[in-house]
Structure 1
Amino acid sequence: MGRSRKGRDISGWLVVDKPAGLTSTAVVNKVRWALQAKKAGHAGTLDPEATGVLAVALGEATKTVPYITDALKAYRFTVRLGQATNTDDAEGEVIAQSATRPSDTQIKAALGHFIGDIMQVPPKFSAVKIDGQRAYKLARDGEDVELAARPLWVDELVLTDRPDPDHVELEMVCGKGGYVRSIARDLGEALGCYGHVRELRRIWSGPFEAEEGLTFEQIEALAHTPELDAHLRPTAHGLADLPELRATAEGAARLRNGNPGMVMAADVDYGEECWASFDGKPVAVGRYKAGELHPARVFNL
C-alpha cells in the first residue's frame, strides 16, 4: 500500500507574481510548503527568467488546470534586435549578428504575419519531448535538435514601444502552447536582422492577473498563517471560460457519484462542455445532454 501524502486538504487557486530566476516548479513547491497543502500544480510553465502571473492550483482546483492552460494568455516582452542566441533569449550564446535595424513601419508590417492561426517551431532549449527526452537536455549535450512546427493561435501582437534602435517592446495575446522566444526569433528572421527575447512578463492568464498576484516575499512572510489562506481564490475560478449550470439536489448527489445528474435548464447546446454547481460550489465538469450533465471530472468539495 502506498503512503498517503502529508498535508492539508485545501483547495483553491493562489495567484503568484513570479520573480525572475526561479523555475515554475520551485514556485509551486514554495506555495505547497507555505499552505501546507497535500496537492499543488500550476497552469502554464514560465521560463526561469520570465516574470508574471503563475496560477497555482491546490487540491481539487488541480482538476481545473487544463481549462486555465487552454485559456488565452497575455505577454509583455522586449526583443533585442541584431542578435540571435542558441536559446532564443538573453541567457544563451550569441550565434549570429546583423547591423540591420528595421524601421517601426517595417516591424508593424511584419507583426501581421504572426497573427491568427500560425505554425511555430519551439525553441531548441525547451521542455518539448523528443523520443522521451526533453529538448533542452539534448541541446545541452550538443545534439542537433530538430523540432516540428506546432499550431498556435495568436489573438493579438502589437508594438508598444521602441526605446532605441536595438530594442522593441511588444504585447501578445495567444492560446495554449505559445513560445514568446520563438516569436522573437522568427520576427528577427522575417526582418532580416535576427532577434531574441531580452525580458518577458506574463501579464494575465485566463482570469488571473499578475498585478493581483502575491510576490515571493509575501508568500514567505505569510507562510503557515490564516492570512495566506485568505488570498486563495475559489476552485471555480479555474472554470471561468465554461458555462455554469445549476444542479438540483438529486442531480448533485448523482454527479458526485460519477453518474449523469439533472441540471436546471440553461442556454447551452447539446453536447457542450459545462460545469455544474450546487450551493455555490462546483460539483462536476462534463457534457450537457437533454437536461443532464454527463460528468467527466467530479469535485469533492
Structure 2
Amino acid sequence: MSIEIENLSYVYMPGTPFEKKALDDVSLRLEDGEFIALIGHTGSGKSTLIQHINGLLKPSSGKIIVDGVDITVPKFKLNEIRKKVGLVFQYPEYQLFEETIEKDIAFGPKNLGLTNDDIDKKVKKAMEFVGLDYNTYKDVSPFDLSGGQKRRVAIAGVVAMEPKVLILDEPTAGLDPKGRDEILAQIKKLKTEYNMTVILVSHSMEDVAKVASRIIVMENGKCILDNIPPRVFREIDTLERVGLAVPQVTYLVRALRKKGFNISEDIFTIEEAQEQILQILKGAKND
C-alpha cells in the first residue's frame, strides 16, 4: 500500500503570535513493504508528519493519498484510514487503560466490529508476536508490567488490528539497552511476518542502523535527506549540522580507516564492526 505526500504544509496556531510552520512543502512517496526511519532533531516536523499520515491532523495545504485515496478531502471517513494505518505514540504505555492485558489489546479489534472469535485470534496472535505468552499474561493488569513489557502491550494493541502500515513514534524512548534491543527485534519480526510497511520515528542512529532500509532526515519542516542508510550516514557534516550524528561505531570505523585498516566504510552496527575487525585480526595473524 503506497502513500503519496504532495506539497504538504502545516501551520500550528495560524494568525496568532505563536504561529509556527511545522511542515514546509513536503513531498514523499512511501512504497509498500518499506522499512523507513524518519529522523530529525526535536521540532523538525517528524511527529507532525506522521500524524497527517494517520489523519489526526488536517494539512494547511497539500494532499495525502493512501492506497490511491486522498484522505484530505472534506468529509473523508477517517476511520477507514485508521484501519489501514496504525500509529503507536511515543510512551504509549501511558495510554493503557483496561484492567487486563487481554482487554487492552482487544479494544481496537472490537471497534472494527469483529466477531468474538476473530478478536480472540487476533489478540493471541498479536501477543505472540510481541513476545508475551497469552496464558501467562492475558489476565495480568498492564500496570503491573515493566516499562518494556508495557510498550509491547501498546504495540500489540495496534498490531491486533492488522494495519497495512505501522507507524511507531520513538518506540524505544526511555528504555534500557536490553529493552531497546527487544523492542527493535519485535518490530523487525512484525514487519516480516505481517508484511507491513513500517515507519519508525527516532533520533537514535544506533536504532535506525539496525532496522531501516530507507532513512528520511527532517529539518525545519523539510526533508533534507532521503536515501538508503549507507548514503545517509556518509553525510556526517550535514547530520551534525542539524544536531544529529551517525552511529557511534561509524566514527570508530573512520578512525581505523585513517590508520590504514582495510575495513568497509559501510559499517553502522557494533555487530558488523566486530565481525570485520575479527576478520582483519585473523588475517593479520595468519600472515
Of structures 1 and 2, the larger Rg is shown by 1
**Higher relative strand content:** 1
Fold shared, TM-score > 0.5 on shorter chain: no
TM-score bracket for the superposition, by shorter chain length: under 0.3
**Higher relative helix content:** 2
Q: TM-score, normalised by structure 2?
A: 0.27
Q: TM-score, normalised by structure 1?
A: 0.26
